[in-house]
């Protein structure tokens, strides 16, 4: 049984709760679980739960049916998000929630040069945590056992150089204390999953722990090992499925994909997968990793080696850097399908724009790209709509679930908030894969020349019919949503003779249901995402009503330009070199005008990913063109293209350069 205490409980009330439990025969232990202070009660005591709940300072009581009380979802219903590294440093990494976290590095640290070069390679491809073994528990006493503390020092330095927290295996209680200040996250290897004295010692140190599942461990045994860590003092435990031992011998182990959804139902702890140890064969690692992401894993830990054939440990299962890069691109493409975003973190600044990964610039003062990262204490990010809006979900993907955010009543109000500094960034939907471009938002860029695009992401849109508990499909007479929501659900709506009432935002349509009088509640419904139903306490009558399941909305992240024409880049979008730019221009009314512009880009090998015409407001039968293009290799080439385009166009707007999502 777990007693969750109220925030700010007095020492007197806490002592009363302790005494109450002891008098009734319980042994007690105090623990911090996430943001909550709890008292665990164990033993053969007996208590009236209602009486315990009424004690001053008791928030609620979780009488769990599982032996792993602290790890159980019955104790903590919301997902735990584990932070690794020092948040004050700007390089802390979060595992869990709506983003996929990738850990990569060699099986073992073999030399300073090896770990530094590997760290640089995996960081460039998108990994945010560096893994590597300084102490290696090996089956043979004659195999390479690791470089020990010297290897850990090399790894720590390599992580700091790349802005990556490190995770490494601890093999004994004595070494845990020595390693504490050099590692950001302890790894408990599969062989030590049930080394309970080690678990207690590591848990008491309070650092985040990556707990690998033992090769013959059941899921309950795995979660009980996590319980040891939580009960000993650490708040942050990440579970790692790395394959179990079965009768099959073709692969090194058998990857238990089913464990991912099972554990997520049983526990609030994040779950990642180690496909390298699961299959043990290089050619299969990427496929297993993608399967894990599709099954709901919060991340992967992948072994990468510069020269796997000469690796001192686990070479046959280690990816070449080029293979890891392809895997990262595949994960980035898959992430929106499963409703997630690949986590990125800012690179450390090295004093020069190019070394820091600064984006390619534009010509003649139109540079509107990133040039920094969001500092602590910056204004919130803004979105348009009510809580639960798709734009809010996109915001959380870009900035994290706990990011401060500002709800705006309209898209124009969001642009105003970014312009006047009320918001540091804004999240703007610009295009849907089914309904096309959202022209009103493209037009806002022309009205706000000091606003620029600094990033983008794609969100899968799953529409639901949302209503009061008393409503049914046969009782509804009116449905509310944004016009895009109606357009994306046409086939479903054709089946019913409902009145469609447009709203400026899907989540606002859901919020409007709360204002209905009792006698009208069964007659109204709204179309929006499931998050809006949860936010407002309403039910989903029918999920997945969009016409085509391949329904994605493209969002761009906007910021205000500084005096030098640059703009800050959110830390989560600051990973990697920009690869995309957006432009708007009109052309003279003469034959071949548009062809001339396209030829400028074609001659320089620039690929267009979007070309769309749009009537110019106030100028009948005149058009402007929206263009998205892939950036060339050098800034000089891009500057030359812009200069040539400006000479051939009439109105030219540079919307920004940024790292595009796949």
How does DSSP assign 82-119, residue by residue?
EEES-GGGT--EEEBTTEEEEEEE-SB---HHHHHHHH
Copy the structure tokens of residue 607.
Answer: 């690929």
* pLDDT for residue 107: 94
pLDDT confidence band for 361 (50 / 70 / 90): very low
Spatial neighbors of 516 by CB under 8 A, at least 6 apart, are 468, 524
DSSP string covering 268-323:
SS-EEE-HHHHH--HHHHHHHHHHHHHTT-SEEEEEB-SSGGG-SS-GGGPBPHHH
Copy the structure tokens of residue 523.
Answer: 């007659």
* pLDDT for residue 353: 31
On the question of pLDDT at 241 being above 70, the answer is yes
Which region among 18-32, 439-453, 464-478, 585-599 has the lowest average model confidence (pLDDT)? 18-32
* pLDDT for residue 227: 92
pLDDT tens, residue by residue, 132-148:
999 987 777 877 888 99
pLDDT tens, residue by residue, 553-588:
999 999 998 877 778 887 666 556 788 999 999 998
On the question of pLDDT at 359 being above 50, the answer is no
pLDDT average, residue stretch 363-376:
35
The residue annotated as part of the active site, out of 425, 555, 638, 654, is 555
pLDDT tens, residue by residue, 287-300:
999 999 999 999 99
pLDDT confidence band for 34 (50 / 70 / 90): low
Beta-ladder partners of 584: 626, 653
On the question of pLDDT at 374 being above 80, the answer is no
> How many separate helices (H) and strands (E) can be counted in the chain?
20, 32
Element (H, E) at 76: none
* pLDDT for residue 138: 73
Q: How far apart are CA 398 and CA 138, in angstroms?
A: 40
Q: How far apart are CA 298 and CA 238, in angstroms?
A: 9
pLDDT average, residue stretch 140-165:
90
On the question of pLDDT at 360 being above 70, the answer is no
Copy the structure tokens of residue 268.
Answer: 């609030």
* pLDDT for residue 80: 93
pLDDT average, residue stretch 251-259:
95
Contact assessment for residue 240 and residue 270, using Cβ atoms and an 8 Å cutoff = no
* pLDDT for residue 371: 36
Q: How far apart are CA 443 and CA 429, in angstroms?
A: 12
* pLDDT for residue 25: 80
Contact assessment for residue 148 and residue 164, using Cβ atoms and an 8 Å cutoff = no
pLDDT average, residue stretch 154-172:
95
The residue annotated as part of the active site, out of 186, 553, 625, 649, is 553
Average pLDDT in the chain:
87
Cβ-based burial of 46 (10 A; exposed 0-12, middle 13-18, buried ≥19): exposed
pLDDT confidence band for 32 (50 / 70 / 90): confident
User: Domains (ranges, CATH) in the chain?
Assistant: 2-62 (3.30.70.1140), 99-342 (3.20.20.70), 370-460+552-658 (3.40.190.10), 464-543 (3.40.190.10)
pLDDT tens, residue by residue, 193-216:
999 999 999 999 999 999 999 999
On the question of pLDDT at 130 being above 90, the answer is yes
On the question of pLDDT at 456 being above 80, the answer is yes
Contact assessment for residue 529 and residue 334, using Cβ atoms and an 8 Å cutoff = no
On the question of pLDDT at 156 being above 50, the answer is yes
pLDDT average, residue stretch 423-432:
92
On the question of pLDDT at 428 being above 60, the answer is yes
Q: Does pTM top 0.95 for this prediction?
A: no
pLDDT average, residue stretch 417-430:
92
Q: How far apart are CA 292 and CA 300, in angstroms?
A: 8
* pLDDT for residue 436: 85
The strand ranges marked E within 304-414 are: 341-342, 370-373, 381-384, 405-408
pLDDT tens, residue by residue, 76-104:
888 999 999 988 777 889 999 888 999 99
Tell me what percent of the residues of the chain surpass a pLDDT of 70. Answer: 93
Q: What are phi and psi of 141, to 5 degrees?
A: -70, -10
Copy the structure tokens of residue 459.
Answer: 């969100």
**Catalytic site residue 585?**
no
**Catalytic site residue 555?**
yes
């Amino acid at each position: 049984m777990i007693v969750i205490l109220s925030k700010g409980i007095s020492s007197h009330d806490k002592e009363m709760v302790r005494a109450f439990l002891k008098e009734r025969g319980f042994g007690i232990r105090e623990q911090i679980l996430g943001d909550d202070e709890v008292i665990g009660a164990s033993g053969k005591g007996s208590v009236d739960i209602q009486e315990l709940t009424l004690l001053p300072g008791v928030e609620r009581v979780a009488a769990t049916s599982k032996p792993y009380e602290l790890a159980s979802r019955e104790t903590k219903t919301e997902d735990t998000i584990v932070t690794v590294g020092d948040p004050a440093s700007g390089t802390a990494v979060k595992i869990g929630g709506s983003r996929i976290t990738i850990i990569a590095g060699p099986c073992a640290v073999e030399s300073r040069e090896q770990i530094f070069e590997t760290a640089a390679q995996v960081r460039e491809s998108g990994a945010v945590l560096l893994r590597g073994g300084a102490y290696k528990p090996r089956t043979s006493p004659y195999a390479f056992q690791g470089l020990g503390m010297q290897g850990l020092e090399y790894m720590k330095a390599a992580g700091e150089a790349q802005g990556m927290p490190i995770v490494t295996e601890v093999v004994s209680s004595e070494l845990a204390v020595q390693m504490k200040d050099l590692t950001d996250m302890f790894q408990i290897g599969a062989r030590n999953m049930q080394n309970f004295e080690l678990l207690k010692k590591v848990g008491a140190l309070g650092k985040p722990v990556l707990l690998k599942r033992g090769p013959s461990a059941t899921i309950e045994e795995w979660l009980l090992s996590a319980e040891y860590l939580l009960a000993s003092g650490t708040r942050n435990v990440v579970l790692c499925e790395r394959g179990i031992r079965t009768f099959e011998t073709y692969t090194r182990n058998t990857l238990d994909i089913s464990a991912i959804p099972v554990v997520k139902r049983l526990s609030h702890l994040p779950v990642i997968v180690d496909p390298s140890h699961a299959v043990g064969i290089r050619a299969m690692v990427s496929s297993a990793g993608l399967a894990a992401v599709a099954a709901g894993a919060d991340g992967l830990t992948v072994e990468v080696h510069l020269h796997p054939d000469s690796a001192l440990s686990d070479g046959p299962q280690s990816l070449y850097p080029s293979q890891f890069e392809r895997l990262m691109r595949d994960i980035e493409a898959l992430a929106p399908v499963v409703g997630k975003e690949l986590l990125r973190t800012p690179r450390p600044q090295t004093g020069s724009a190019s070394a820091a990964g600064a984006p390619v610039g534009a010509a003649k003062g139109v540079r509107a790209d990133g040039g920094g990262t969001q500092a602590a204490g910056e204004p919130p990010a803004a979105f348009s709509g009510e809580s639960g809006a798709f734009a809010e979900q996109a915001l959380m993907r870009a900035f994290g679930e706990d990011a401060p955010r500002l709800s705006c009543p309209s898209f124009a109000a969001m642009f105003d908030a970014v312009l006047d500094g009320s918001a540091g960034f804004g999240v703007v939907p610009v295009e849907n894969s089914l309904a096309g471009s959202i022209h009103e938002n493209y037009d806002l860029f022309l009205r706000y020349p000091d606003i620029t695009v600094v990033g983008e992401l794609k969100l899968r849109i799953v529409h639901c019919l949302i209503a009061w508990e008393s409503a049914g499909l046969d009782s509804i007479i009116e449905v509310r949503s944004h016009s895009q929501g109606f357009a994306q659900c046409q086939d479903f709506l054709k089946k019913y003779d409902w009145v469609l009432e447009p709203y400026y935002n899907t989540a606002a349509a859901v919020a409007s249901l709360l204002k209905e009088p009792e006698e009208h509640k069964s007659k109204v419904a709204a179309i929006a995402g499931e998050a809006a139903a949860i936010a407002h306490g309403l039910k989903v009558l029918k999920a997945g009503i969009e016409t085509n399941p391949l329904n994605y909305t493209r969002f761009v992240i906007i910021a205000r330009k500084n005096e030098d024409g640059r703009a800050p880049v959110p830390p989560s979008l600051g990973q990697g070199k920009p690869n995309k730019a957006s432009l708007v221009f009109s052309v003279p009314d003469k034959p071949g005008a548009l062809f001339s512009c396209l030829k400028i880009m074609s001659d320089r090998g620039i690929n267009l990913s979007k070309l769309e015409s749009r009537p110019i407001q106030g100028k009948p039968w005149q058009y402007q063109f929206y263009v998205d293009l892939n950036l060339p290799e050098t800034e000089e080439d891009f500057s030359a293209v812009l200069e040539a385009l400006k000479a051939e166009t009439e109105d030219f707007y540079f919307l920004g350069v940024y790292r595009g999502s796949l």
